Structure 1
């Protein structure tokens, strides 16, 4: 399906404006975050010194302000309830950053935010040939998992940037080709800009963290953009783009469940966390994740270009193999790999 494509110059300007607004907002907010939202290191942390968290306020605020304004100006605004659901889940994250919310009410509030996006979409937007109610319920469960896995994976300096920038840039490029609706294209481009504006403050050693107030709504916005891509028939591309996060978080969850561990509790057993314990530097980990995501973005683009089920499956298998290779590298001590010539 070909959709009217946005203007590349104005889209790029919107992304740059979002980056600037985000950076200025972080500078303005940092003294308050330093005072009221300090993340102190513990046994499960990757950081060593108390660091302010909550820069997600600037990332999400800039994305909704510039992205929403651009979309309105072009007459193609995102669904109104997206602008309700995103602040709602950000507020849940903000409260949880300051004073942890019990698991059940936290999940229910997150499910409410995801449900506002999923259940209010037009009925003709479908992925599977199954009853609509069942598909939307599956999307609710998947969306709830997605926002949480983005949160779980935000445990290392620049990790969310290394994951989300390639995804959002790829989505914006797909939108410029007329294969993604303008609202999703604009949100992807401006979220990419916001994360680039956040990156200088989060590079190792980070001066500020996103916090749950950032990671949860980033997961919601990314999930919505990917869902819009899947609704347009590009399911393989929508799975390929976040494949590293899906694999790392899901395999870690299953491993913890099989071991009888409290999988809902904070921990340091994700593959990227094990990598730092195995001798990788933070820069090496996020660098490999970033390069992997560039590969996945290329494969997702190829799956759209070839537009055939067989080609899509082959490309997806290649993507799975690439992710598996990185996960294997992360799970082994660097000394052990060096002794085998790896």
Structure 2
């Protein structure tokens, strides 16, 4: 019963925010790098930091993780309204990651491990932030990760938190997973959700001792890394908005439905996560399996990307 009330509360909060965003002109205007063609309310993902704040008051999550998510959300929301320089955003990310390290007691680990984990988390947060490009993909991918984390026995005590965050995804998704989205997550939503998911990834790996759970992020992770490499080879600024991800090619240049592409990405990742969990229960999720599987996924991705780019060239000709 409490979860029904929470979900309805999230819906009400979203509707109130839409009134505020409309009044103060918090919108996304399409440009040459956009995947959308009409003005859309920005920042609907504000429900994610609000959800974790509610979870904190209900006793579902620690103050450190709540503060980390809310901190990056506040800075990101300001950036959504009036673009900030890199410095305040980077500082907020550093503090947030430090709070995650504190929560997971990582400062007591080997000193060489900390910069590696730091770079991975910062990289994940920024890569996930760029995902908010087509309708539905951010929230469906986030929901896929939350559902997958919920199935791990090590996260049983965290189920109330995961359910609460999942409900916030459903509330936001009602207005985003559409042919014509009413709202986008904005930096406030994508960055705060990325940080939350990054925390749960590290937590799950530490608590289980199983590195294989990193495959929970592999579909978009491979797309992001290959896209960054391609842009670097083209000497493009990787920090600038773009339309170079495979999912953007599919939705924009190939003309497939945004929602369909988002469901394909999330669905493939969910099926993959189910397979990962199954392999772990059988004891097959070894380092060699993980490495080989990542190579296989990368090979499949490159084949698909090459096929799609060829089709794009033929359409132009």
- TM-score, normalisation: structure 1: 0.82
Q: 1:107-146 alignment to 2 at 5 Å? A: 107-123=90-106, 132-146=110-124
List per-residue Cα deviations over 1:298-317 (Å, max 9, x = no partner): 1221233123454x643664
**Cα shift at 1:97:** 0.5
Cα distance in 1 for partners of 2:170, 2:305 equals 25
Cα distance in 1 for partners of 2:157, 2:277 equals 18
Q: Which runs of 5+ in 1 are unaligned?
A: 1-12, 126-130
Structure 1 residue aligned with 2:215: 240
Structure 2 residue aligned with 1:32: 20
Structure 1 residue aligned with 2:240: 265
Q: 1:1-342 alignment to 2 at 5 Å? A: 16-36=4-24, 37-65=26-54, 67-70=55-58, 72=59, 77-123=60-106, 132-174=110-152, 177=153, 179-180=154-155, 182-183=157-158, 185-203=159-177, 204-276=179-251, 277-310=253-286, 313-314=288-289, 317-318=292-293, 321-322=296-297, 324-325=299-300, 328-329=303-304, 332-333=307-308, 336=311
List per-residue Cα deviations over 1:80-124 (Å, max 9, x = no partner): 211111111001110111111123442232222112212453259
Range moving further from structure 2, 33-42 or 314-323: 314-323
Cα distance in 2 for partners of 1:56, 1:317 equals 36
Cα distance in 2 for partners of 1:254, 1:64 equals 37
**Cα shift at 1:61:** 0.6
Alignment: residue pair count: 310
List per-residue Cα deviations over 1:237-268 (Å, max 9, x = no partner): 42111111211112211221222111111111
**Change in 2 beyond 3 A, CA 1:16/1:165:** farther
**Cα shift at 1:49:** 0.8
2:48–2:192 Cα contact (<8 Å) kept: no
List per-residue Cα deviations over 1:144-164 (Å, max 9, x = no partner): 111111101111100012211
Cα distance in 2 for partners of 1:47, 1:95 equals 22
**Change in 2 beyond 3 A, CA 1:105/1:330:** same
**Change in 2 beyond 3 A, CA 1:40/1:308:** same
**Change in 2 beyond 3 A, CA 1:124/1:216:** closer
2:223–2:301 Cα contact (<8 Å) kept: no
**Change in 2 beyond 3 A, CA 1:122/1:223:** same
In proportion to residue count, which structure has more helix? 2
